[in-house]
Protein backbone atom coordinates (compact mmCIF):
# COMPACT_ATOMS: atom_id res chain seq x y z
CA UNK A 1 0.00 0.00 0.00
CA UNK A 2 1.33 3.50 -0.83
CA UNK A 3 1.34 6.39 1.60
CA UNK A 4 -2.23 6.37 2.85
CA UNK A 5 -1.69 9.11 5.41
CA UNK A 6 -2.31 12.84 5.10
CA UNK A 7 0.66 15.23 4.80
CA UNK A 8 -0.79 16.88 7.88
CA UNK A 9 -0.04 13.89 10.10
CA UNK A 10 2.95 12.43 8.23
CA UNK A 11 5.05 15.53 8.82
CA UNK A 12 4.47 15.75 12.58
CA UNK A 13 7.10 13.97 14.69
CA UNK A 14 6.14 11.55 17.47
CA UNK A 15 6.42 12.89 20.98
CA UNK A 16 10.11 12.56 21.81
CA UNK A 17 9.32 12.78 25.51
CA UNK A 18 7.07 9.72 25.37
CA UNK A 19 9.90 7.80 23.74
CA UNK A 20 12.33 8.98 26.40
CA UNK A 21 9.96 8.14 29.23
CA UNK A 22 9.96 4.54 28.03
CA UNK A 23 13.67 4.39 28.89
CA UNK A 24 13.00 5.54 32.41
CA UNK A 25 10.33 3.04 33.53
CA UNK A 26 13.07 1.07 35.34
CA UNK A 27 12.19 1.76 38.98
CA UNK A 28 15.80 2.11 40.06
CA UNK A 29 16.13 5.21 37.85
CA UNK A 30 15.46 8.53 39.57
CA UNK A 31 13.47 10.39 36.96
CA UNK A 32 13.35 14.17 36.63
CA UNK A 33 12.01 13.60 33.12
CA UNK A 34 8.23 13.46 33.62
CA UNK A 35 5.98 16.47 33.44
CA UNK A 36 3.26 15.21 35.71
CA UNK A 37 1.77 16.52 38.93
CA UNK A 38 2.60 14.63 42.13
CA UNK A 39 0.09 11.78 42.44
CA UNK A 40 0.37 11.74 46.24
CA UNK A 41 -1.35 15.12 46.27
CA UNK A 42 -4.44 14.09 44.29
CA UNK A 43 -7.60 14.66 46.37
CA UNK A 44 -8.71 11.04 46.04
CA UNK A 45 -11.12 10.83 48.96
CA UNK A 46 -12.72 14.17 48.18
CA UNK A 47 -13.26 13.35 44.48
CA UNK A 48 -14.69 9.98 45.42
CA UNK A 49 -17.12 11.62 47.88
CA UNK A 50 -18.14 14.28 45.33
CA UNK A 51 -18.83 11.57 42.75
CA UNK A 52 -20.98 9.54 45.15
CA UNK A 53 -22.95 12.60 46.15
CA UNK A 54 -23.50 13.65 42.55
CA UNK A 55 -24.85 10.25 41.50
CA UNK A 56 -27.09 10.11 44.58
CA UNK A 57 -28.53 13.57 43.93
CA UNK A 58 -28.56 13.89 40.13
CA UNK A 59 -28.74 10.31 38.80
CA UNK A 60 -29.68 10.19 35.12
CA UNK A 61 -29.09 13.90 34.49
CA UNK A 62 -25.33 13.53 34.58
CA UNK A 63 -25.15 10.76 31.96
CA UNK A 64 -26.75 12.65 29.06
CA UNK A 65 -25.18 14.62 26.14
CA UNK A 66 -24.60 18.26 26.95
CA UNK A 67 -23.76 21.64 25.39
CA UNK A 68 -20.62 22.28 23.34
CA UNK A 69 -19.66 25.37 25.34
CA UNK A 70 -19.51 23.38 28.59
CA UNK A 71 -21.57 23.09 31.78
CA UNK A 72 -22.80 26.59 32.75
CA UNK A 73 -22.15 26.03 36.47
CA UNK A 74 -18.50 25.20 35.80
CA UNK A 75 -18.09 28.19 33.48
CA UNK A 76 -19.57 30.43 36.19
CA UNK A 77 -17.17 28.97 38.77
CA UNK A 78 -14.17 29.68 36.49
CA UNK A 79 -15.35 33.27 35.84
CA UNK A 80 -15.74 33.86 39.60
CA UNK A 81 -12.25 32.44 40.23
CA UNK A 82 -10.70 34.88 37.72
CA UNK A 83 -12.33 37.68 39.72
CA UNK A 84 -11.00 36.51 43.10
CA UNK A 85 -7.51 35.48 42.01
CA UNK A 86 -6.71 38.10 39.34
CA UNK A 87 -9.47 40.69 39.69
CA UNK A 88 -10.35 39.90 36.07
CA UNK A 89 -13.86 40.42 34.73
CA UNK A 90 -14.59 37.44 32.51
CA UNK A 91 -18.16 36.64 31.44
CA UNK A 92 -19.06 32.92 31.60
CA UNK A 93 -20.31 33.20 27.99
CA UNK A 94 -16.72 33.85 26.96
CA UNK A 95 -15.48 30.59 28.48
CA UNK A 96 -15.33 27.37 26.47
CA UNK A 97 -14.70 24.14 28.39
CA UNK A 98 -12.16 22.00 26.52
CA UNK A 99 -10.75 18.48 26.82
CA UNK A 100 -7.64 19.71 28.61
CA UNK A 101 -5.96 22.93 27.58
CA UNK A 102 -4.18 20.79 24.98
CA UNK A 103 -7.46 20.64 23.05
CA UNK A 104 -7.66 24.42 23.36
CA UNK A 105 -4.38 24.60 21.40
CA UNK A 106 -5.72 22.26 18.72
CA UNK A 107 -8.95 24.25 18.40
CA UNK A 108 -6.98 27.47 18.05
CA UNK A 109 -4.88 25.88 15.30
CA UNK A 110 -8.01 24.66 13.54
CA UNK A 111 -9.70 28.06 13.85
CA UNK A 112 -6.83 30.36 12.87
CA UNK A 113 -4.19 28.54 10.83
CA UNK A 114 -4.07 27.94 7.09
CA UNK A 115 -1.12 26.03 5.67
CA UNK A 116 2.00 28.19 5.81
CA UNK A 117 0.57 30.68 8.32
CA UNK A 118 3.14 32.08 10.70
CA UNK A 119 3.29 31.57 14.46
CA UNK A 120 5.66 33.00 17.05
CA UNK A 121 6.62 30.36 19.57
CA UNK A 122 8.84 30.74 22.62
CA UNK A 123 12.34 29.25 22.42
CA UNK A 124 12.53 26.93 24.25
CA UNK A 125 8.79 26.29 23.99
CA UNK A 126 6.08 23.89 25.11
CA UNK A 127 6.39 20.72 23.09
CA UNK A 128 2.63 20.10 23.05
CA UNK A 129 2.03 23.47 21.38
CA UNK A 130 4.72 22.81 18.78
CA UNK A 131 3.03 19.49 18.02
CA UNK A 132 -0.52 20.91 18.01
CA UNK A 133 0.30 23.75 15.58
CA UNK A 134 2.56 21.57 13.40
CA UNK A 135 -0.52 19.55 12.41
CA UNK A 136 -1.81 22.70 10.66
CA UNK A 137 1.43 22.99 8.67
CA UNK A 138 2.34 26.30 10.19
CA UNK A 139 5.65 28.16 9.88
CA UNK A 140 7.27 28.83 13.26
CA UNK A 141 9.27 31.87 14.26
CA UNK A 142 10.99 31.01 17.54
CA UNK A 143 11.68 33.96 19.83
CA UNK A 144 14.03 33.32 22.78
CA UNK A 145 12.88 33.53 26.38
CA UNK A 146 15.28 34.23 29.21
CA UNK A 147 15.01 34.83 32.96
CA UNK A 148 13.15 38.12 32.41
CA UNK A 149 10.70 36.83 29.78
CA UNK A 150 10.44 36.98 26.02
CA UNK A 151 13.09 38.79 23.94
CA UNK A 152 11.00 41.80 22.93
CA UNK A 153 13.47 43.04 20.31
CA UNK A 154 13.22 39.68 18.51
CA UNK A 155 9.44 39.65 18.97
CA UNK A 156 9.20 43.10 17.41
CA UNK A 157 11.36 41.98 14.51
CA UNK A 158 9.22 38.89 13.89
CA UNK A 159 6.06 41.01 13.99
CA UNK A 160 7.39 43.55 11.53
CA UNK A 161 9.05 41.07 9.13
CA UNK A 162 6.14 38.59 8.94
CA UNK A 163 2.37 38.34 9.14
CA UNK A 164 2.14 36.65 12.52
CA UNK A 165 -1.24 35.01 13.16
CA UNK A 166 -0.53 33.67 16.66
CA UNK A 167 1.95 34.43 19.41
CA UNK A 168 2.01 31.48 21.82
CA UNK A 169 3.13 32.42 25.33
CA UNK A 170 3.37 30.73 28.74
CA UNK A 171 4.16 33.77 30.91
CA UNK A 172 4.01 32.00 34.31
CA UNK A 173 6.53 29.26 35.23
CA UNK A 174 6.96 28.27 31.63
CA UNK A 175 7.24 24.70 30.46
CA UNK A 176 10.07 23.82 29.94
CA UNK A 177 12.20 26.59 31.49
CA UNK A 178 10.33 27.52 34.68
CA UNK A 179 10.85 31.24 33.93
CA UNK A 180 8.18 33.93 34.31
CA UNK A 181 7.86 37.13 32.32
CA UNK A 182 8.52 40.20 34.50
CA UNK A 183 5.80 42.86 34.74
CA UNK A 184 7.78 45.20 32.49
CA UNK A 185 8.38 42.44 29.95
CA UNK A 186 4.65 41.67 29.81
CA UNK A 187 3.83 45.32 29.23
CA UNK A 188 6.37 45.61 26.40
CA UNK A 189 5.15 42.40 24.73
CA UNK A 190 1.51 43.49 25.06
CA UNK A 191 2.40 46.89 23.59
CA UNK A 192 3.89 45.20 20.53
CA UNK A 193 0.78 43.08 19.96
CA UNK A 194 -1.80 45.81 20.57
CA UNK A 195 -3.55 47.04 17.43
CA UNK A 196 -2.30 44.17 15.26
CA UNK A 197 -4.25 41.24 13.80
CA UNK A 198 -2.20 38.86 15.95
CA UNK A 199 -3.76 36.63 18.58
CA UNK A 200 -1.74 36.27 21.76
CA UNK A 201 -2.35 32.85 23.33
CA UNK A 202 -1.79 33.17 27.07
CA UNK A 203 -1.43 29.57 28.25
CA UNK A 204 -1.47 29.48 32.05
CA UNK A 205 -1.69 25.98 33.54
CA UNK A 206 0.87 26.76 36.28
CA UNK A 207 -0.08 30.31 37.38
CA UNK A 208 -1.74 29.16 40.62
CA UNK A 209 1.32 27.13 41.63
CA UNK A 210 3.34 30.10 42.87
CA UNK A 211 5.44 29.41 45.95
CA UNK A 212 7.44 32.67 45.97
CA UNK A 213 6.92 36.31 45.04
CA UNK A 214 3.61 37.83 44.01
CA UNK A 215 1.26 37.39 41.05
CA UNK A 216 1.78 39.46 37.91
CA UNK A 217 -0.63 41.01 35.41
CA UNK A 218 -2.27 38.89 32.80
CA UNK A 219 -2.05 39.67 29.07
CA UNK A 220 -5.84 39.39 29.06
CA UNK A 221 -5.91 42.47 31.33
CA UNK A 222 -3.61 44.43 29.04
CA UNK A 223 -4.78 43.49 25.55
CA UNK A 224 -8.15 41.70 25.94
CA UNK A 225 -9.07 42.04 22.27
CA UNK A 226 -5.94 40.25 21.13
CA UNK A 227 -5.73 37.64 23.88
CA UNK A 228 -7.11 34.13 24.18
CA UNK A 229 -6.44 32.74 27.66
CA UNK A 230 -6.08 29.02 28.36
CA UNK A 231 -6.53 27.38 31.76
CA UNK A 232 -6.66 23.85 33.15
CA UNK A 233 -7.63 21.74 36.15
CA UNK A 234 -4.80 19.30 35.36
CA UNK A 235 -2.23 20.80 37.72
CA UNK A 236 -4.55 22.02 40.49
CA UNK A 237 -6.97 19.06 40.72
CA UNK A 238 -6.09 16.07 38.47
CA UNK A 239 -5.11 15.66 34.81
CA UNK A 240 -7.10 12.47 34.17
CA UNK A 241 -10.34 14.46 33.94
CA UNK A 242 -8.95 16.13 30.81
CA UNK A 243 -10.78 19.33 31.64
CA UNK A 244 -9.45 22.74 30.74
CA UNK A 245 -10.91 25.91 29.29
CA UNK A 246 -10.27 28.91 27.13
CA UNK A 247 -11.41 32.50 27.36
CA UNK A 248 -12.05 34.44 24.16
CA UNK A 249 -14.08 37.41 22.94
CA UNK A 250 -17.52 36.77 21.34
CA UNK A 251 -16.45 36.76 17.69
CA UNK A 252 -13.65 34.23 18.36
CA UNK A 253 -15.84 32.10 20.68
CA UNK A 254 -18.36 31.66 17.90
CA UNK A 255 -15.76 30.07 15.61
CA UNK A 256 -14.13 28.04 18.37
CA UNK A 257 -17.50 26.51 19.29
CA UNK A 258 -17.88 25.32 15.68
CA UNK A 259 -14.37 23.81 15.82
CA UNK A 260 -15.24 22.17 19.15
CA UNK A 261 -18.47 20.66 17.77
CA UNK A 262 -16.60 19.20 14.83
CA UNK A 263 -14.01 17.68 17.18
CA UNK A 264 -16.01 16.03 19.95
CA UNK A 265 -19.45 17.69 20.37
CA UNK A 266 -18.53 18.58 23.95
CA UNK A 267 -16.06 17.85 26.73
CA UNK A 268 -16.82 14.85 28.99
CA UNK A 269 -19.93 16.05 30.82
CA UNK A 270 -19.69 13.64 33.75
CA UNK A 271 -16.15 14.84 34.45
CA UNK A 272 -17.27 18.49 34.36
CA UNK A 273 -20.02 17.78 36.88
CA UNK A 274 -17.72 15.81 39.20
CA UNK A 275 -15.08 18.55 39.16
CA UNK A 276 -17.67 21.20 39.93
CA UNK A 277 -19.15 19.13 42.78
CA UNK A 278 -15.63 18.65 44.16
CA UNK A 279 -14.97 22.41 43.92
CA UNK A 280 -18.25 23.23 45.69
CA UNK A 281 -17.76 20.73 48.50
CA UNK A 282 -14.10 21.54 49.23
CA UNK A 283 -11.77 24.48 49.78
CA UNK A 284 -9.67 24.62 46.60
CA UNK A 285 -7.38 27.29 48.07
CA UNK A 286 -6.46 24.97 50.90
CA UNK A 287 -5.72 22.21 48.39
CA UNK A 288 -3.62 24.45 46.14
CA UNK A 289 -1.69 25.64 49.21
CA UNK A 290 -0.73 22.01 49.92
CA UNK A 291 0.60 21.62 46.37
CA UNK A 292 2.49 24.91 46.55
CA UNK A 293 4.13 24.00 49.85
CA UNK A 294 5.21 20.56 48.61
CA UNK A 295 6.54 21.80 45.25
CA UNK A 296 8.23 24.78 46.91
CA UNK A 297 10.17 22.47 49.25
CA UNK A 298 11.11 20.15 46.38
CA UNK A 299 12.27 23.08 44.27
CA UNK A 300 14.43 24.34 47.18
CA UNK A 301 15.95 20.87 47.64
CA UNK A 302 16.80 20.75 43.93
CA UNK A 303 18.34 24.25 43.82
CA UNK A 304 20.39 23.54 46.94
CA UNK A 305 21.63 20.18 45.63
CA UNK A 306 22.53 21.72 42.25
CA UNK A 307 24.54 24.41 44.06
CA UNK A 308 26.45 21.71 45.91
CA UNK A 309 26.86 19.04 43.22
CA UNK A 310 27.01 20.63 39.73
CA UNK A 311 30.14 22.15 38.21
CA UNK A 312 30.16 25.93 38.63
CA UNK A 313 29.90 26.61 34.90
CA UNK A 314 26.42 25.10 34.70
CA UNK A 315 23.67 27.75 34.63
CA UNK A 316 20.15 27.15 35.93
CA UNK A 317 16.86 28.99 36.36
CA UNK A 318 15.36 29.63 39.81
CA UNK A 319 11.62 29.27 39.28
CA UNK A 320 9.17 30.92 41.69
CA UNK A 321 6.47 28.36 40.92
CA UNK A 322 5.44 25.54 38.60
CA UNK A 323 7.16 22.20 38.15
CA UNK A 324 10.36 22.67 36.13
CA UNK A 325 13.78 24.18 36.07
CA UNK A 326 16.09 24.60 33.11
CA UNK A 327 19.78 23.86 32.87
CA UNK A 328 22.27 25.34 30.40
CA UNK A 329 25.51 23.39 30.05
CA UNK A 330 28.79 25.16 29.27
CA UNK A 331 30.23 25.20 25.73
CA UNK A 332 28.41 23.06 23.26
CA UNK A 333 28.06 19.92 25.34
CA UNK A 334 24.97 18.20 23.92
CA UNK A 335 22.45 17.34 26.64
CA UNK A 336 21.60 14.17 24.68
CA UNK A 337 25.13 12.84 25.32
CA UNK A 338 24.74 13.61 29.01
CA UNK A 339 21.36 11.84 28.96
CA UNK A 340 22.81 8.63 27.54
CA UNK A 341 25.45 8.53 30.25
CA UNK A 342 23.06 9.62 33.03
CA UNK A 343 20.56 6.84 32.34
CA UNK A 344 23.42 4.35 32.86
CA UNK A 345 23.93 6.00 36.29
CA UNK A 346 20.22 5.70 37.06
CA UNK A 347 19.12 9.30 36.72
CA UNK A 348 17.02 10.80 33.90
CA UNK A 349 15.86 14.19 32.57
CA UNK A 350 14.60 15.56 29.27
CA UNK A 351 17.33 16.84 26.91
CA UNK A 352 16.35 20.25 25.49
CA UNK A 353 16.08 19.19 21.82
CA UNK A 354 12.29 18.67 21.55
CA UNK A 355 11.60 22.16 22.92
CA UNK A 356 13.17 23.84 19.86
CA UNK A 357 11.61 23.91 16.41
CA UNK A 358 14.83 24.09 14.42
CA UNK A 359 17.80 23.25 16.66
CA UNK A 360 19.43 19.92 17.41
CA UNK A 361 22.09 18.70 19.85
CA UNK A 362 21.40 21.59 22.19
CA UNK A 363 23.23 22.15 25.48
CA UNK A 364 20.07 22.62 27.57
CA UNK A 365 17.87 20.26 29.54
CA UNK A 366 14.70 20.21 31.65
CA UNK A 367 14.45 18.97 35.22
CA UNK A 368 11.08 18.27 36.84
CA UNK A 369 10.84 18.63 40.62
CA UNK A 370 7.14 17.98 41.27
CA UNK A 371 7.21 14.19 41.42
CA UNK A 372 10.28 13.41 43.52
CA UNK A 373 10.66 13.97 47.28
CA UNK A 374 13.52 16.04 48.72
CA UNK A 375 15.78 13.15 49.77
CA UNK A 376 15.46 11.43 46.40
CA UNK A 377 16.10 14.75 44.64
CA UNK A 378 19.39 15.11 46.53
CA UNK A 379 20.50 11.59 45.52
CA UNK A 380 19.48 12.10 41.86
CA UNK A 381 21.15 15.50 41.57
CA UNK A 382 24.35 14.09 43.09
CA UNK A 383 24.34 11.30 40.45
CA UNK A 384 23.81 13.84 37.67
CA UNK A 385 26.46 16.14 39.15
CA UNK A 386 29.01 13.27 39.05
CA UNK A 387 28.21 12.64 35.37
CA UNK A 388 28.54 16.35 34.57
CA UNK A 389 31.88 16.64 36.40
CA UNK A 390 33.23 13.83 34.22
CA UNK A 391 32.01 15.46 31.00
CA UNK A 392 32.81 19.14 31.59
C1 LIG B 1 2.28 24.86 29.00
C2 LIG B 1 1.30 23.75 28.93
N3 LIG B 1 0.15 23.94 28.26
C4 LIG B 1 -0.78 22.97 28.18
C5 LIG B 1 -0.58 21.74 28.76
C6 LIG B 1 -1.65 20.68 28.60
O7 LIG B 1 -2.35 20.51 29.78
P8 LIG B 1 -3.78 19.84 29.87
O9 LIG B 1 -4.20 19.44 28.50
O10 LIG B 1 -3.62 18.67 30.78
O11 LIG B 1 -4.68 20.90 30.44
C12 LIG B 1 0.59 21.49 29.48
C13 LIG B 1 0.82 20.17 30.09
O14 LIG B 1 1.81 19.84 30.64
C15 LIG B 1 1.55 22.52 29.56
O16 LIG B 1 2.71 22.36 30.21
Same domain, 218 and 190: yes
Share of the chain above pLDDT 70, in %: 99
Residues found in the chain: 392
Shared domain check, 222 and 184: yes
Asked whether residue 1 is assigned to any structural domain, the reply reads no
Q: How confident is the model at residue 24 (pLDDT cuts 50, 70, 90)?
A: low
Q: Are strands 347-348 and 30-31 parallel, antiparallel or unpaired?
A: parallel
Phi/psi zone of residue 8: left (φ > 0), alpha (ψ -120 to 50 degrees), beta? alpha
Query: In terms of domains, do 38 and 60 share one?
Result: no
CB atoms within 10 A of CB 382: 15
| 325: nearest Cα among 247, 287, 381 | 381
Report if residue 198 sits inside a domain. Answer: yes
* Contacts of 312 by beta carbon, 8 Å cutoff, 6+ apart: none
171 and 231 part of one domain? yes
Could you tell me the end-to-end alpha-carbon distance of the chain, in angstroms, rounded to an integer? 49
215 and 123 in a common domain: yes
- Predicted confidence (pLDDT) at residue 104 exceeds the cutoff of 80: yes
If pLDDT is split at 50, 70 and 90, which confidence band does 387 have?
Answer: very high
Q: Are residues 231 and 333 located together in one domain of the fold?
A: no
Q: Which of 216, 214, 237 is nearest to 288 (CA)?
A: 237
Identify whether 36 is part of a domain.
yes
Cα 240 to middle of ligand 1, angstroms: 12
| pLDDT (average), residues 224-228 | 97
CA of 103 to the centre of ligand 1 (A): 9
Please give the Cα distance from 264 to 36 (Å, whole number).
Answer: 25
pLDDT value, residue 27: 84
Residue 330 lies inside a defined structural domain of this protein: yes
Rounded Cα distance, 111 and 260, in Å: 10
> Rounded to the nearest whole angstrom, what is the distance from the C-alpha of residue 205 to the centroid of ligand 1?
6
Nearest CA to ligand 1 atom 6: 102
User: Judging by DSSP bridges, how do beta strands 315-316 and 244-247 pair with one another?
Assistant: unpaired
Residue range 234-286, pLDDT digits in tens: 999 999 999 999 999 999 999 999 999 999 999 999 999 999 999 999 999 99
Separation between Cα atoms, residue 331 and residue 313, nearest integer Å? 9
In Å, how far are 3, 215, 242 from 323, measured between CA atoms? Answer: 40, 17, 19
Q: State which of 256, 281, 306 marks the end of a domain.
A: 281
Measured in Å, residue 291 CA sits from the centre of ligand 1 at 17
Residue pair 244/231 in contact (Cβ under 8 Å)? The answer is: yes
Contacts of 15 (CB under 8 A, 6+ apart): 127, 131, 354
2 within a domain of the structure (yes/no): no
Asked if the structure places residue 295 within a domain, the reply is: yes
In the β-sheet with 324-328, what is the strand arrangement from edge to edge? 315-316, 324-328, 364-368, 350-351
CA 45 distance to own-chain centroid: 26
The residues that bridge with 142 in the sheet, in sequence order, are 121
Q: What DSSP string describes 320-338?
A: SBSSEEEEE-STT--HHHH
Q: What is the pLDDT of residue 17?
A: 72
Q: Is 354 left (phi over 0), alpha (psi -120 to 50) or beta?
A: alpha
Helix (H, G, I), strand (E, B) or coil at 19: helix
- Give the CATH number for residue 65: 3.40.640.10
pLDDT category of residue 232 using cuts at 50, 70 and 90: very high
pLDDT band at 165 (very low <50, low <70, confident <90, very high): very high
64 in a structural domain: yes
* Residue of the CA atom closest to atom 16 of ligand 1: 175
**Domain match, 170 and 230 both:** yes
Which residues have any ligand 1 atom within 6 Å of their CB?
35, 100-102, 126, 128, 170, 175, 203, 205, 232, 234, 239, 244
Q: Which of 36, 38, 97, 101 to mutate to test the pocket of ligand 1 (most atoms within 8 A of CB)?
A: 101
Ligand 1 pocket test, pick from 36, 105, 232, 324 with the greatest ligand atom count within 8 Å of Cβ, gives 232
Q: Average pLDDT of 153-165?
A: 98
pLDDT level of residue 14 (50, 70, 90 thresholds): confident
Per-residue DSSP letter, 13: P
Residue ranges of alpha helices (H) inside the chain are: 7-10, 16-23, 44-58, 72-86, 100-112, 127-134, 152-161, 183-193, 219-222, 250-264, 269-281, 284-309, 335-344, 374-391
| 323 within a domain of the structure (yes/no) | yes
The whole-model pTM stands at 0.96
User: Per residue in 34-65, pLDDT tens?
Assistant: 889 999 999 999 999 999 999 999 989 999 99
Q: What does the alpha-carbon distance between residue 198 and residue 120 come to, in Å, rounded to a whole number?
A: 10
Question: What is the CA(60)–ligand 1 centre distance, in A?
Answer: 32
Atom of ligand 1 nearest to the CA of 104: 9
**For residue 342, what is the domain's CATH number?**
3.90.1150.10
> 10-14, 109-113, 194-198, 309-313: which range is least confident on average?
10-14
- 3-state SS, residue 231: strand
Q: Quick one: 102 and 229 in the same domain?
A: yes
Question: How far does residue 101's CA lie from ligand 1's centre (Å)?
Answer: 6
Question: Ligand 1 mean position to 202 CA, how many Å?
Answer: 12
Q: How far is the CA of 242 from the centre of ligand 1 (A)?
A: 10
Among candidate residues 237, 260, 281, the one where a domain is terminated? 281
Number of structural domains the chain divides into = 2
Same domain? For 39 and 49 the reply is: no
Instruction: Indicate whether 293 pLDDT > 70.
Output: yes
Looking at ligand 1, which atom is closest to the CA of residue 99? 9
- Same domain for 263 and 341, yes or no, is no
From 281, 308, 328, the end of a domain falls on: 281
Helices (H) and strands (E) in the chain, counts: 14, 14
State the DSSP code for 342.
Answer: H
**192 pLDDT more than 70:** yes
Q: Are residues 219 and 331 in the same domain?
A: no
pLDDT in tens, 342-368: 999 999 999 999 999 989 899 999 999
Q: What is the DSSP letter of 210?
A: B
| Whether residue 184 sits in one domain with residue 38 | no
The domain in which residue 343 lies consists of: 7-43+286-391
Ligand 1 atom with least separation from CA of 234: 10
Amino acid sequence: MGNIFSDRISDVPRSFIRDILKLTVDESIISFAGGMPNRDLFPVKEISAATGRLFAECGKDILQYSTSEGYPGLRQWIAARYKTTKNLDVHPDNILITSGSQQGLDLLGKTFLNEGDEVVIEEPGYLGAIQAFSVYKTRFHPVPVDTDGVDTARLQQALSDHVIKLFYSVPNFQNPSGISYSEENRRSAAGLIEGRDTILIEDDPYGELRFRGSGLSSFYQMVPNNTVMLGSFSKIVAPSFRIGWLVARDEIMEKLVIAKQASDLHTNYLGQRIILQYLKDNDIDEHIEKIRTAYGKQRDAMIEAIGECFPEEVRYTRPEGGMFLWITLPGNLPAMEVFNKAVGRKVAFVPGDPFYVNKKDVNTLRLNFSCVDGDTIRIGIKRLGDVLKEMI
